[in-house]
Amino acid sequence: MIEEIVAKIAQGGYAAGTAFTFSKTKNENYQAGDKEQEKSRLKAAADKFEKKLKSGMDGKNAELIEAEIMLLHDDDYISFADRLIVEESLSALKALKSAEKKLCDKLESSGNSYIRERSADVKGMTKVLVDIMSGNETVLPKSPCILVGSELSPSDITLIDKEMILGILTETGSPTSHVAVLAGGLDVPYFYGVSDVLGKVRDGDFVILDDSAGFLDGFGNGSVTVNPTENIRNIALEHQEDILREKSEAEKLSVNRPTKLKVYANIGGTDETETLARLQADGIGLVRSEFLFLGRDTAPSEDEQFEAYKKIVTAMDDKEVVIRTMDIGSDKKADWLPMEKEINPALGLRGLRVSLEYTELFRTQLMAIMRAAAFGNIKIMVPMVTSVWEIDRVFENLEASVKELKSRKVAFKIPEVGVMIETPAAVMMAPELASKVRFFSIGTNDLAQYTLALDREAKGLDRYYDPMHEAIFRMVEMTVKAAHSHGIPVTVCGELGGRPEAIAKLKSLGVDELSVSFGKYAKVKRLVIDLEEKESHKAKHIEKSVIKAPADGELVPMAEIPDTVFSSGMMGECLGIIPINGNIYAPISGTVKTIARNKHAISFKNESLEVLVHVGIDTVKLNGKGFTVKVSEGQYVDQGQLVLEADMAKIKEMGFDPMVIVVKNQSEGRGHENNKEDK
Ligand code: PEP
Ligand code: MG
């Protein structure tokens, strides 16, 4: 039976394939022995598991596996279970279950969401250990599949050959979990929030994960289709192949292509540099140095930091690498740092404030960065600035660190210093700040949270947290003006810079560089290449408020369109066209705002208008079959340019009405888009 399920998206994307389910551990084979036997059984299982983890360790997942191993060695886990076997004569199985509860309770009582989420990792580890102790062979997938489980742990995933994972679907999960980080590194979709997932999806079922349902509703839900018809299944598999081909084409195209608007990458570790070096990326615009400070018991030493920074900068040759000093606090708590519990941590001790309160730590980091700067092109950037005096303190600390390095006679270089603009105060003080530093980088994630008065971690309020809000663009504009009048460049390093619909606008506001999440680098670089090519061919007069018919054919008034979503005007003023062929043209000159993943709808935007062209009624169900898109998101197009070819004969043959619908809206932000379904 076909089942359609709505899921939350932790990591977007599209995947189609066979489900491989991770079900609850069967421990009926378990026979308890005496104390000594139980103790050695537990120890043998823990050793075997640690060995397995280490053997699956590669450059990309080393930090995550180390975090797993640390949990394994936590005093409240294996060691505690060991004590229970001796003191309370429990079996290894029962002792481990009690230890799991103790450790999970401890983690879950933390004020830090990152630490709380580690309890899912502990449950996953217990499952594997119980399997080992019960003599159950952990069965791993042998062909590419969609992993399905009520909850998956990093251990489950690290034990599997990466080539075998097409996508991940779970009941519990979160966008900031380690599983989400792993899915991001593998570039596969990860959906969660499906209750009784193992009741809905069985081992061997055919599953489609599709994040495009959020195309018009903007709420970020994904759809899960279980056991579709053979026709849809074949379409889905073809679609998946198209996506992989497009991805490798984007990578090829973006290698070493200079663009005026430079594209840098954001990283949070040392491993991503391999890929960035292969893609010959323009540089790294944000090293989130917190990866060295979080999820551990003590502060990292100067040498440990130096080695990590040196590894990154040498991998990037002479390309620019911007290291952000520790942005600890709020959602990024370091448990080893004695900090008061705050009611409102996003408005408390965080970012640069932590560095200025704990200057020893700050100077250690500055010294490590300056030593690494002797090996490449490093810049220093400070986060969460609100006042000009803070920058004076930064330079005082830098000077003191330089003095110390000189007295130690070690090699170092003093990098340029820049400021993150991520508070409204920093925007307003941009002219003064610009006179003190060498560059700005706009952190739109935090800037949106502080400007829109909405916690970026708030659940269920996504529609109020809109980084595309006009207020943010106005702040970008103010920042750019202040920077350029002092001759310094501006980067946008928040997620906004990686949004296709924002790129042309940021460029037109004078932003010099984008620094985007590592996984989006090739795609964004390609969009920028396209945008700049178009701009250089443009220069023609553009009539911005005239819409040309996107297809040749007979006009149908709004009320007669055979779909109430359109005929009721819910989507905006619209018209239908009964097309005489499948060529679809851009109705206005402007940028391509969004392309539905299923390719049946494209929206366009310029300063006056937003126009959606929707080809066919209910054709979302075709999953892209019969549509060939000729443009990409963020690309500039001329009015009348061919943007899509639709195989009208095929669409009709599959039983769909091919009517082309043109929806007009004034260009005034995206609020009006909410609550619409992807038709
Ligand atoms: C930002 O706030 O936009 C940013 C890039 O920093 P982070 O997301 O690490 O807070
Ligand atoms: Mg920030």
Q: Which domains does the chain have, with CATH numbers?
A: 3-24+33-244 (3.50.30.10), 255-539 (3.20.20.60), 553-675 (2.70.70.10)
pLDDT digits (tens, 9 = 90+) for 236-290: 999 899 888 887 777 777 777 889 999 999 888 887 888 888 888 899 999 999 8
pLDDT at 672 over 50: no
pLDDT at 671 over 50: no
**Residue-level pLDDT at 544:** 67
Amino acid identity at 177: S
- Among 6-10, 52-56, 301-305, 519-523, the minimum mean pLDDT is found in 52-56
Question: The tokens 């501006």 sit on which residue?
Answer: 490
Identify which of 154-158, 596-600, 606-610 has the greatest average pLDDT.
596-600
Q: Whose CA is nearest to atom 1 of ligand 1?
A: 443
pLDDT digits (tens, 9 = 90+) for 386-445: 999 999 999 999 999 999 999 999 999 999 999 999 999 999 999 999 999 999 999 998
Predicted confidence band at 543 (pLDDT cuts at 50, 70, 90)? low
CA distances for 315 relative to 273, 300, 309, 373, 518, angstroms? 6, 22, 10, 13, 15
Ligand 1 mean position, distance from CA 665 (Å): 32
Determine whether the shortest distance from the Cβ of 587 to ligand 1 is under 6 A.
no
Average pLDDT over residues 327-352: 84
Determine whether the shortest distance from the Cβ of 110 to ligand 1 is under 6 A.
no
**Residue-level pLDDT at 488:** 97
Determine whether the shortest distance from the Cβ of 327 to ligand 1 is under 6 A.
yes
Predicted confidence band at 184 (pLDDT cuts at 50, 70, 90)? low
Single out the residue of 484, 142, 199 nearest to residue 476, CA to CA.
484
Determine whether the shortest distance from the Cβ of 288 to ligand 1 is under 6 A.
yes
Identify which of 173-187, 292-306, 529-543, 659-673 has the greatest average pLDDT.
292-306
pLDDT at 217 over 50: no
Determine whether the shortest distance from the Cβ of 493 to ligand 1 is under 6 A.
yes
Single out the residue of 67, 521, 61 nearest to residue 271, CA to CA.
61
Quickly count: other Cβ atoms within 10 Å of residue 562's Cβ.
12
Predicted confidence band at 177 (pLDDT cuts at 50, 70, 90)? low
**Residue-level pLDDT at 553:** 93
Q: In this structure, what token pair is assigned to residue 7?
A: 């899921």
**Residue-level pLDDT at 118:** 82
Determine whether the shortest distance from the Cβ of 290 to ligand 1 is under 6 A.
no
pLDDT at 565 over 70: yes
Asked if 553 contacts 577 with a C-beta cutoff of 8 angstroms, the reply is yes
- The residues annotated as belonging to the active site are 178, 493
Interatomic CA distance for residues 98 and 104, integer angstroms: 10
Predicted confidence band at 219 (pLDDT cuts at 50, 70, 90)? very low
**Residue-level pLDDT at 612:** 94
Ligand 2 mean position, distance from CA 540 (Å): 40
pLDDT at 542 over 90: no
What is the number of the ligand 1 atom nearest to the C-alpha of 444?
3
Predicted confidence band at 59 (pLDDT cuts at 50, 70, 90)? low
Question: The tokens 């995933």 sit on which residue?
Answer: 157
pLDDT digits (tens, 9 = 90+) for 447-473: 999 999 987 766 567 667 777 899 999
Asked if 71 contacts 122 with a C-beta cutoff of 8 angstroms, the reply is yes
Ligand 2 mean position, distance from CA 384 (Å): 7
pLDDT at 676 over 50: no
Interatomic CA distance for residues 84 and 78, integer angstroms: 10
**Which ligand is in closest contact with the Cα of 447?**
1
Average pLDDT over residues 577-595: 92
Mean of the per-residue pLDDT values for the chain? 86
Average pLDDT over residues 200-229: 77
Coil, strand or helix at 408: helix
Ligand 1 mean position, distance from CA 275 (Å): 22
Coil, strand or helix at 79: helix
What is the number of the ligand 1 atom nearest to the C-alpha of 383?
6
Q: In this structure, what token pair is assigned to residue 277?
A: 């070096």
**Residue-level pLDDT at 119:** 82
pLDDT at 520 over 60: yes
Q: What are phi and psi of 258, to 5 degrees?
A: -70, 135
Average pLDDT over residues 362-380: 98
How deeply is 311 buried, as exposed, middle or buried, from its count of CB atoms within 10 A (0-12, 13-18, 19+)? middle
